[in-house]
């Protein structure tokens, strides 16, 4: 039978949770941000779609929030405190962890391509032309 150790790490959750959003960075943007000369990023609103855009230079990323099925807990190191039954003068605190935030959604960045030109001679335009020519 496997040996089980009794080293526990006390866990608690903070009553006042902090607000965090995780931002998924595309590899090319991450490389730029980690470089010795990182770009300045700006968040603006798209005039056509109304979506938030993260921009740097000529590149624009549409920001979309997506939910995760498994929330992430952001933990912070802490120490245990005495309970009412403990003698406060003899109590020795232990290392523990405290959940300070629960993240249930992330923001993904979608690279926006340049404006696409409208296709000429779509199939329905060709069909309409051939019907007019027959009459």
pTM (two decimals): 0.61
CA-based nearest residue to 60, from 106, 36, 26: 26
Per-residue pLDDT band for 124 (boundaries 50, 70, 90) equals low
- The predicted-structure confidence for 1-48, as pLDDT tens digits, reads as follows 566 666 788 888 888 888 888 999 999 999 999 999 999 999 999 888
Ranges of H-type helices in the chain: 27-34, 123-134
Q: What percent of the chain is predicted at pLDDT more than 90? A: 44
User: Domains in the chain, start-ordered, CATH in brackets?
Assistant: 11-80+93-113 (2.60.40)
The mean predicted confidence, pLDDT, of the chain is 83
Q: What is the pLDDT of residue 89?
A: 78
How high is the pLDDT of residue 5? 64
Q: How far apart are CA 115 and CA 118, in angstroms?
A: 9
Q: What is the mean pLDDT of residues 80-86?
A: 76
In this predicted structure, what is the pLDDT of residue 8?
A: 82
């Amino acid at each position: 039978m496997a040996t089980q150790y009794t080293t526990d790490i006390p866990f608690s959750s903070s009553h006042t949770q902090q607000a965090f959003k995780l931002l998924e960075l595309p590899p090319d943007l991450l490389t730029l941000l980690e470089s010795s000369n990182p770009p300045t990023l700006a968040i603006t609103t798209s005039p056509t779609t109304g979506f938030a855009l993260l921009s740097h230079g000529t590149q624009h990323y549409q920001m979309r929030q997506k939910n995760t099925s498994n929330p992430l807990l952001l933990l912070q190191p802490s120490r245990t405190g005495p309970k009412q039954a403990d003698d406060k003068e003899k109590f020795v605190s232990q290392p523990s962890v405290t959940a300070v935030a629960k993240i249930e959604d992330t923001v993904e960045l979608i690279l926006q391509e340049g404006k696409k030109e409208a296709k000429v001679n779509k199939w329905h335009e060709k069909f309409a032309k051939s019907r007019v020519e027959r009459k």
